[in-house]
């Protein structure tokens, strides 16, 4: 299937920041064949479908670099509570009642929301990850999946086995749309021995590690008490950063921590909304960027966000950075858009194939309607998108060369069915709560 | 004209926080006649139009308690700059080129954006305010208008005259949809004598004062240097707070400042997005609320936001409060929604007539489509709205009993004409910039 997108304002996010105000994009199968002015479109290209992109921005699909998609069950459940009370009293008891197949529908709800807001790939960490993989396969989205790992306990070796099995069955699966990482949850839920077991597995499989890091002050204080080291220093001391690492949150860091992250090229998933909502704090992202650390954006789960919009995280990231530093010049619009696209792709280890619109890369593309009062008068589209952009302006979404949303309608997901199944699960698990 | 809204989930925001999951609202002329279950609808009520509210939330229109609507010209122009550079080098030179009639179309663009995101009333401060008044009259929105006042200089008495004339011509005008306040810009643009002239005018007219207050650290530092007092202490010392005051921003306050605001019942317009974007900082709103100070929400102008969505400000207010205090229990969802509705109405001095859905109040009502992945699974609608709500879900908007947007289409504004006129103004004023 060949697709031609015509007459869009194309924001490539390539190394030269090329923009084509009247651009076109040619897609051959799952791959971008051409990006540029239509005059120079290769003559041999014959499209099966032509998408009229006039009045729209075309840009790389947004990357959600940290989420837990099956936690959509808990959206809007027990908000405005302290983190540990919320987990211990509300979330964990209910998670014990989850059946594996529930995770399929709960992930599908999250995938629907993500696609509708232009997210074309997400990095997940949770249980029942084979069910999430099936939802990824069926929906057409792209994902980097990891089994959430905690230990030692009676099931911790079993969990490692599940992460290995996930890799065996799904790494490179779904037409290459799925990759697998190893997912040690955090330093406060894994001991040093178990973290080393995770590192061994990642090394054997040749993949990276996805972990929560320095999310709360409590995490830092307990690490200092227990290990005499910050969480970042502690992970360095056990050689964790010798492997590729995707570190979610990174809210509470010392300057020395930041230097360590820079030294090992640790990838950061900044989750501004979740960090605010849980009262964790505000990450000093501009200080990370100054050190050359790569930063992507994550929503965390719908339980602590409560939605899964990377466009919204992008707006928050650009604004919060300025507010917390009291400096309007930091995190300019282009840098925020980069975090939401190419930076996120790099964070999840996939920037060779996605994150920008360039010939040879996979066709993960979003068309955004660009005709509403909040985009007037005409100005730099990147600025308008970052500071005024709305999820609902996402019109058409292509993943791996396939149209998964056309004019606001999902082509691969039956939304009514998803709502029905999710409400059924909620009634079963949460009853009259 | 009588309107009946049926089968909505009605969130009244009245003193008892009444909710009607299958509610109806009867409107007689410009006034709410009934809110509640349909069984109890007065039998004599005969609607001219029936709106099907099924699958929708019905709530009071959002209140934008601080903006400069004609500044929409500068949306997306010269972002990511320090405040004083931005004003002095970019905004002020261009403002000199504005013609009075420009303000009509520029205000109309802002009004269109506000109505489309469910804002039914705004408090404005700027020049050419009679043009904004005309746009309010024609569009059907509600507004509290004040002439921005600075002095002394050669034109400062003229500006006071304009504010008086605005009151004479427009206070109570547009079927009662317009009220007028007096708008001294700030303590750093008005001296004590001129502030007293503004206070005299407000007292003569029997209206309140709308002012920027404690927006930046620089403002506070200069006040301490010049007057030996914080901006709040300084205004108290000249008797400013003996009149009703709407104070925008209030970012940098001491505990003593907060006590003063509480003592005089000063009304605060919290503008979280603008404060972030200009690098001004993050207001400690939960500390204001703890002291019983009433807080509404404002967008500030599209030049520093860059949009005019109170739903977005509501989300930011709820999240930022938690993040800055590192406490997830502060500013719960209901409190955020209150700031966006009744709190805003109180802030602009209009809560006797608007801000909640109650018989006898003016019919300013928003219907929000409540059927998207980000609202699933079912949970408390207030929570879903505050943490996941999207402008684009606003379906129908009623102001003063008149439908001004129906199923996403504005009924009073020709958007294409507005875009055309605004682009023409931009070309004339900003040329090839």
Q: Is the same domain home to A45 and A182?
A: no
Over 60: is that where the pLDDT of B161 sits?
A: yes
Instruction: Answer yes or no: do B76 and A383 touch at CB < 8 A.
Output: yes
Instruction: Answer yes or no: do A376 and B72 touch at CB < 8 A.
Output: yes
Which DSSP helix (H) or strand (E) runs through B431? none
Report the DSSP pairing between strands A19-28 and A31-37. Answer: antiparallel
Q: Is the same domain home to B147 and B42?
A: no
Q: Do residues A68 and A124 lie in contact, with contact meaning Cβ atoms separated by under 8 Å?
A: yes
Predicted confidence (pLDDT) per residue in B309-361, tens digit = 999 999 999 999 999 999 999 999 999 999 999 999 999 999 999 999 999 99
β-bridge mates for residue A247, sequence order:
A211, A268
pTM greater than 0.80? yes
Residues of A with Cβ-Cβ distance to B309 under 8 angstroms = 374
A431 part of a folded domain:
no
Instruction: Answer yes or no: do B319 and A277 touch at CB < 8 A.
Output: yes
Residues 6 or more apart in contact with residue A432 via CB below 8 angstroms? none
β-bridge mates for residue B246, sequence order:
B210, B267
Over residues B187-216, mean pLDDT: 98
Taking the Cβ of residue A90 and every Cβ of chain B, the question of whether any pair is shorter than 8 Å is answered with no
d(CA B158, CA A1) in angstroms, rounded, equals: 68
CB pairs under 8 A between A and B: 208
B416 part of a folded domain:
no
d(CA A238, CA A195) in angstroms, rounded, equals: 9
Instruction: Answer yes or no: do A392 and B388 touch at CB < 8 A.
Output: no
Q: Do residues B105 and B65 lie in contact, with contact meaning Cβ atoms separated by under 8 Å?
A: no
Report the DSSP pairing between strands A245-249 and A209-213. Answer: parallel
Name the domain count of chain B: 2
B208 part of a folded domain:
yes
pLDDT at A78: 78
Instruction: Answer yes or no: do B275 and A323 touch at CB < 8 A.
Output: yes
Structure tokens at A411: 């082509």
Residues of B with Cβ-Cβ distance to A374 under 8 angstroms = 75, 113, 302, 306-309
Which DSSP helix (H) or strand (E) runs through A218? helix A217-227
Taking the Cβ of residue B79 and every Cβ of chain A, the question of whether any pair is shorter than 8 Å is answered with yes
Taking the Cβ of residue A327 and every Cβ of chain B, the question of whether any pair is shorter than 8 Å is answered with yes
Q: CATH no. for residue B386?
A: 2.30.40.10
Q: Residues 32 to 71 of A: which have CB under 8 A from any B CB?
A: none
Look up the domain containing B159 and give its range.
62-347
Average model confidence (pLDDT) across chain A: 97
pLDDT at A256: 98
Residues 6 or more apart in contact with residue B195 via CB below 8 angstroms? B184, B187, B235, B238, B240
- Closest CA in chain A for residue B382: A76
Instruction: Answer yes or no: do A328 and B75 touch at CB < 8 A.
Output: no
B94 part of a folded domain:
yes
Strands (DSSP E) along A12-118, which ranges? Answer: 19-28, 31-37, 49-52, 56-60, 62-67
d(CA A397, CA A408) in angstroms, rounded, equals: 9
β-bridge mates for residue B396, sequence order:
B367
Predicted confidence (pLDDT) per residue in A48-62, tens digit = 999 999 999 999 999
Over 60: is that where the pLDDT of B90 sits?
A: yes
Taking the Cβ of residue A308 and every Cβ of chain B, the question of whether any pair is shorter than 8 Å is answered with yes
CA of A277 vs chain B CAs: smallest distance (Å): 5
Taking the Cβ of residue B102 and every Cβ of chain A, the question of whether any pair is shorter than 8 Å is answered with no
Q: Do residues A320 and A241 lie in contact, with contact meaning Cβ atoms separated by under 8 Å?
A: no
d(CA A64, CA B246) in angstroms, rounded, equals: 40
d(CA B242, CA B308) in angstroms, rounded, equals: 31
Q: Is the same domain home to A248 and A377?
A: no
Q: Is the same domain home to B54 and B68?
A: no
Q: Is the same domain home to A196 and A343?
A: yes
Q: Is the same domain home to B117 and B28?
A: no
Q: What would the DSSP string read from start to end of B129-169?
A: HHHHHHHHHHH--EEEEEEEE-BSSTTHHHHHHHHHHHHHH
Q: Is the same domain home to B379 and B317?
A: no
Q: Is the same domain home to A226 and A101?
A: yes
Over residues B405-414, mean pLDDT: 98
Q: What would the DSSP string read from start to end of B198-219?
A: HHHHHHHHT--EEEEES-SHHH
Over residues B227-232, mean pLDDT: 98
Predicted confidence (pLDDT) per residue in B386-408, tens digit = 999 999 999 999 999 999 999 99
Taking each helix axis as running N to C, give the angle between helix A100-116 and helix A415-430, from 0 to 180 degrees, rounded to the nearest 10: 130
β-bridge mates for residue A50, sequence order:
A4
Structure tokens at B16: 């008892």
Nearest by CB to A82, from B276, B329, B374: name it.
B329
Q: Is the same domain home to A143 and A287?
A: yes
Instruction: Answer yes or no: do B73 and A377 touch at CB < 8 A.
Output: yes
Q: Is the same domain home to A335 and A393?
A: no
pLDDT at A92: 86
Residue A190's nearest CA partner among A143, A147, A252, A242 is A147
């Amino acid at each position: 299937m060949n697709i031609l997108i015509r007459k869009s304002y194309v924001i490539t996010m390539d190394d030269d920041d090329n923009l084509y105000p009247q651009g076109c994009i040619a897609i051959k199968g799952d791959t971008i064949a051409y990006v540029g002015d239509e005059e120079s479109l290769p003559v041999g290209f014959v499209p099966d479908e032509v998408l009229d992109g006039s009045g729209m921005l075309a840009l790389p699909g947004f990357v959600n670099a940290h989420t837990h998609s099956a936690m959509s069950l808990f959206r809007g459940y027990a908000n405005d509570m302290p983190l540990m009370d919320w987990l211990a009293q509300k979330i964990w008891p209910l998670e014990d009642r989850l059946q594996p197949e529930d995770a399929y529908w709960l992930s599908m709800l999250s995938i629907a929301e993500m696609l509708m807001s232009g997210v074309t790939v997400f990095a997940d960490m949770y249980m029942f990850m084979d069910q999430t993989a099936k939802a990824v396969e069926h929906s057409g989205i792209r994902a980097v999946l990891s089994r959430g790992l905690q230990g030692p306990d009676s099931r911790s070796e079993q969990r490692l086995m599940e992460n290995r099995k996930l890799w065996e069955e799904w790494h490179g699966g779904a037409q290459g749309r799925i990759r697998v990482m190893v997912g040690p949850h955090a330093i406060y839920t894994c001991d040093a021995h178990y973290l080393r077991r995770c590192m061994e597995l990642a090394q054997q499989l040749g993949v990276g590690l996805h972990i929560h890091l320095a999310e709360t002050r409590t995490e830092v204080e307990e690490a200092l008490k227990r290990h005499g080291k910050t969480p970042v220093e502690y992970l360095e001391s056990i050689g964790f950063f010798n492997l590729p690492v995707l570190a979610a949150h990174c809210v509470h860091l010392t300057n020395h921590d930041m230097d360590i992250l820079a030294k090992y090229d640790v990838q950061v998933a900044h989750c501004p909304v979740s960090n605010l909502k849980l009262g964790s704090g505000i990450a000093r992202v501009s200080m990370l960027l100054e050190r050359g650390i790569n930063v992507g954006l994550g929503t965390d789960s719908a339980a602590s966000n409560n939605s899964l919009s990377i466009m919204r995280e992008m707006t928050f990231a650009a604004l919060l950075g300025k507010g917390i530093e009291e400096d309007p010049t930091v995190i300019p619009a282009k840098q925020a858009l980069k975090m939401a696209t190419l930076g996120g792709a790099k964070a999840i280890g996939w920037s060779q194939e996605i994150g920008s619109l360039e010939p040879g890369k996979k066709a993960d593309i979003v068309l955004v309607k660009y005709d509403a009062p909040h985009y007037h008068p005409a100005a730099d589209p990147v600025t308008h998108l970052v500071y005024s952009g709305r999820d609902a302006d996402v019109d058409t979404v292509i993943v791996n060369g396939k149209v998964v949303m056309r004019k606001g309608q999902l082509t691969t997901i039956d939304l009514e069915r998803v709502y029905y199944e999710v409400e059924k699960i909620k009634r079963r698990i949460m009853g009259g709560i």
